Structure 1
């Protein structure tokens, strides 16, 4: 059990380094074949997610992930890992340079295949976020009606993405509510050797 938890935590730790540093071949190795990634802007196969990250990185987009602790529940060759994460990005919003910072968790479906623990699916949970002007003397003239229409746990992040031409998803799990409860239920099903039943 201890070895399994250590192997899972290593994948979680490595993911953020590989993702933020642009180590795309290594990042792809975090998933098993057929693995999926869900974010606020993407829902689909891991290889496509990695390729889109590569494209954004090459155009100058930078995203930073900082991890906290990881809690892992194991059942045979399957596991659910939850890791605290802070996601930050520097973006232009209405001609003002801003930092958007979100706090939440990675909710990860893991499986051991041929003795190797890798991701089968990753779904962030969005708990809260904020937006700050880099130069405190300026602040973007935001559409507050649009901002309020987004989920509270990630509304500033979605607003920033929308302003920069990134499609956004809004049916996202937050700290509370039916969507995150559906995610937890899917995790329970996964641990009981059932199908992956979220998105």
Structure 2
């Protein structure tokens, strides 16, 4: 893999986070290929619909921020899989208390070069660990323990917040270990070998 390919894919990952979090929807659209798909806790579908849903949330005051770490890229001709360490941060009221939820994980990206341009075909986050903290350290937060325990371990606090806001949260997203993340790794291997992605 050339250094130019590595840099182009890294810039793609960084631009996704910067432009989405800034509400720059026009430039956000340029990181995707036309059929690109976003899978997240609260949304699974085409990138244009994801951008529109994100824009509507933005207009209502929803703030979901992304912070990036290192990126590893596997290349096979015109295709690549990129994994990037990240955190997702969301602030909202939880049971009447303003809180921050931070979820640590990885973006697992399926990318392809077409006509000289790398673009996202599929983004699937892996949710590894999360936590919730009141913004006011003196505030008392009393979570519903039964409800919390029924949510997936790797993103249960994020899911608790998002379901409380009325979002339908997918319960079988890839986490640090388990059959879902193993299936994702298999999907990545198949992609690099020239296979098609599952719908």
TM category, shorter: over 0.9
Q: CA deviation at 1:141?
A: 2.2
More displaced 10-residue stretch of structure 1: 86-95 or 177-186? 86-95
Q: CA deviation at 1:125?
A: 0.1
> Deviations along 1:173-197, whole A, 9 cap, x unmatched?
0000000000000000000000113
Name 1:127's counterpart in structure 2. Answer: 128
1:182 is the counterpart of 2:188: no
Gaps of 5+ in 1: none
Runs of 4+ in 1 over 6 A off after TM superposition: none
Gaps of 5+ in 2: none
When the two structures are superposed, what TM-score results if normalisation uses the length of structure 2? Answer: 0.98
Local SS of the residue matching 1:159: helix
Name 1:157's counterpart in structure 2. Answer: 158
Name 2:15's counterpart in structure 1. Answer: 14
When the two structures are superposed, what TM-score results if normalisation uses the length of structure 1? Answer: 0.98
Instruction: Give the count of matched residue pairs.
Output: 198
> Deviations along 1:33-69, whole A, 9 cap, x unmatched?
1100000001110100000000000111111111000
> Deviations along 1:139-180, whole A, 9 cap, x unmatched?
332111111111110000000001111111111000000000
Local SS of the residue matching 1:101: strand
Q: CA deviation at 1:124?
A: 0.2
1:96 is the counterpart of 2:97: yes
1:118 is the counterpart of 2:119: yes
Q: CA deviation at 1:4?
A: 1.0
What does 1:1-199 correspond to in 2, within 5 Å? Answer: 1-197=2-198
Mapped to 1, the partners of 2:41 and 2:53 lie a distance apart of 13
Task: Provide the aligned C-alpha RMSD in A.
Answer: 0.8
